[in-house]
Structure 1
Amino acid sequence: MALAAAHDVLASPRAAQDVGLVVCAWVLDTDTDWKLAPRLARKAGARRAVAIGVRQLSNGGAMGVQIAAAQMMAEASLRAALVLTGDALGPDAPGRWAEGEGAFMGDAATALLLSRTRGRLAVRSIASSGHCEHEADFPTANPLLGPPPSASAAPAKSGSGSFLLRRCVRDAVQGALADAGLDTDDARLRIVMLPRLAPWLLDVLTTGLLPEALKAEQLRLTARTGHLFAGDMTANLDHLLHEDALEAGQYALLVSVGSGFTATCLVVQAVSPLTDADLHQKGVATS
């Protein structure tokens, strides 16, 4: 699936050759994941790219975007970077239905192409915040690969863990808006897109933390797909592009979170009307 998504955004062999960095994020483990990033880069046609893997659970795709954007700012010769996510539990995995973990899980892959050429959306800022002390409270074994937790073992809807993750979200939102030069009441802030998690968890993580102007513009797409492992943010970018949700000059704030804890917020701006040519240069795909 990740390879199919990559082919969707790399419209030509030349586009693949321009990719100098491939960042691949995933959550689940398989016997061949030790070389997943270079394998996907090779099969996508980015054979000269530096390929790296990111393991940051549900926030992996968002962190991949931040790594790629930072590298492009630091390395002037880097023309394009490809960010991939992909996970599949399969039809019989009991962990798929563990809503207590945050949401039902949806098998999916996403691909995001960052380039220096003009596209439909421009990255204006991206910021992250982490609090790793709560990692010790999580089980050693991946809970998605075992039986669903009992009701008594499901994560609490409040407490120190929720407080720490709320602090991550708050700091990432404030950092991203400040770096983009936006105030919380800026009228150009039209949409906030939240991760594809259970409604109760989104309420716990974001109530009172988002700019007032955005509260009526929140987009929650969990019901359409479930939680897409590391791919929520990149899938949400795909939605912005396919729905042509922003007019030129308007901004969107995308929020991502991951257990452990980490939160990443991305600010993008629509910079030109969507055209047929943009459909081949849009830079995001899902599978």
Structure 2
Amino acid sequence: MQIADLYIGALGVFVPPVVSVEWAVERGLYPAEEAEAHELGGVAVAGDIPPPEMALRAAQQAVKRWGGSPKEFDLLLYASTWHQGPDGWPPQAYLQRHLVGGDMLALEIRQGCNGVFSALELAAAYLRADPDRTSALIVAADNYGTPLVDRWRMGPGFIGGDAASALVLTKRPGFARLCSLASKGLPEIESLHRGDEPLFPPSITRGRPTDFSARIGQQFATRSPASLAMADIQDHMTEIAERALAGAGIGMADVARVSFMNYSREVVEQRCMAAWGLPLSRSTWEFGRGIGHCGASDHLLSMEHLVRTGELAPGDHVLQLATAPGLVVSSAVLQVLESPDWDA
């Protein structure tokens, strides 16, 4: 999807204190061999702060940086990957009550780690469908410090980090431009993150822990069709990234930084950077290794960090690339237009 008329008004983040990998290894929470192999540094841990409260804090920061009114939004999209509060309760309503009000469409997006990409696609179409609509608020939040999931062992090549992020998408001028979006579903790989667990009753209602490592391991151990289809995942990722670059009218040589999910060094290098012969230094791995894989927030956290620390200059392009259960591959290209003065 080529986009020429939508901008990023501001970004907001909430990142709690970080616990080091060394601390986890000393206490037997994280295997020493994995710490050595993956080279991850730490993980953000929010304690008992509810995800909707984290999302509210990130959204408040984004709105403050933007300078507009929270009542101006025409759409609120809330991306999540883990439980947000009492089952059956919509977390986006918490932000409506405490920040933006109820005069807008508000939805929760459950697209795994790619939730923000899906939210951007939906928000772009929604805003462009009506000339009177001007701005959307996209948030993401997760806290994995709950029963039935072990942040240190929940999936291969990553540790689950707690964080929240927010993005203002607007037709008005912003500090960055959303240049393009691209996504692709690979339903032939659907069972990879499901494993051999029954569809009903849902495992969480039976007290069964969520363990993606076990599910994925079962699929590869049995050489399931999904596991065999993973042999082509790199081709699909390259295709979607190239589609996003083409939509933005640029090539990989024009990209200043590449943002991938906050995974281990070998995953970021082999699954992302090696496809274009790029050094790891042009990725966001160094930042991401210190906070963990924060659900759908990874790319917004990385973008906010790059902008706030001056690692991106006006004119720079950022390629964002991710995968999520389903399996879904998503990509976006953003261009920095100015260096915002974010002192809070």
Q: TM-score, length-normalised on structure 2?
A: 0.70
Q: What secondary structure, in the 3-state scheme, does the structure 2 residue paired with 1:113 have? A: strand
Q: What secondary structure, in the 3-state scheme, does the structure 2 residue paired with 1:235 have? A: helix
Task: Name the Cα RMSD after superposition.
Answer: 3.1
The answer (yes or no) to whether the contact 1:62–1:234 under 8 Å persists in 2 is no
The answer (yes or no) to whether the contact 1:122–1:270 under 8 Å persists in 2 is yes
Q: What secondary structure, in the 3-state scheme, does the structure 1 residue paired with 2:94 have? A: helix
How far, CA to CA, are the matches of 1:123 and 1:144 in structure 2? 40
* One of 327, 330, 335 as aligned partner of 1:264: 330
Q: Kindly tell me: are residues 91 and 26 of structure 1, through their superposed partners in 2, closer, same or farther at Cα, counting changes over 3 Å?
A: closer
The residue that corresponds to 1:76 in the other structure is: 131
The answer for unaligned runs of 5 or more in structure 1 is: none
Q: What secondary structure, in the 3-state scheme, does the structure 2 residue paired with 1:109 have? A: strand
Moved more, 243-252 or 30-39: 30-39
Q: Post-superposition shift, 1:200?
A: 2.9
How far, CA to CA, are the matches of 2:114 and 2:212 in structure 1? 22
How far, CA to CA, are the matches of 1:135 and 1:183 in structure 2? 31
Q: How many residues align?
A: 275
* One of 164, 168, 177 as aligned partner of 1:109: 164
Within the alignment, does 1:28 sit opposite 2:110 as a pair? no
Within the alignment, does 1:10 sit opposite 2:63 as a pair? yes
The answer (yes or no) to whether the contact 1:128–1:172 under 8 Å persists in 2 is yes
Structure with higher Rg: it is: 2
Q: Kindly tell me: are residues 14 and 151 of structure 1, through their superposed partners in 2, closer, same or farther at Cα, counting changes over 3 Å?
A: closer
Q: For 1:68-122, what per-residue CA distance to the aligned partner results, in whole angstroms no more than 9, with x for missing partners?
A: 1232233322211011111112166652011643410011111111122222211
Q: Kindly tell me: are residues 162 and 39 of structure 1, through their superposed partners in 2, closer, same or farther at Cα, counting changes over 3 Å?
A: same
Q: Kindly tell me: are residues 70 and 214 of structure 1, through their superposed partners in 2, closer, same or farther at Cα, counting changes over 3 Å?
A: farther
Q: Post-superposition shift, 1:209?
A: 2.8
The answer for unaligned runs of 5 or more in structure 2 is: 1-53, 198-202
> How high is the sequence identity, in percent, across the aligned residues?
23
The residue that corresponds to 2:37 in the other structure is: none
Within the alignment, does 1:43 sit opposite 2:98 as a pair? yes
Flag as ranges the 4+ runs of structure 1 deviating above 6 A.
none
How far, CA to CA, are the matches of 1:247 and 1:199 in structure 2? 26
Q: What secondary structure, in the 3-state scheme, does the structure 1 residue paired with 2:323 have? A: strand
Q: For 1:17-47, what per-residue CA distance to the aligned partner results, in whole angstroms no more than 9, with x for missing partners?
A: 1111001111113434542223323322242
How far, CA to CA, are the matches of 2:212 and 2:125 in structure 1? 38
Moved more, 133-142 or 17-26: 133-142
How far, CA to CA, are the matches of 1:131 and 1:124 in structure 2? 24
The residue that corresponds to 1:160 in the other structure is: 228
Q: Post-superposition shift, 1:228?
A: 0.3
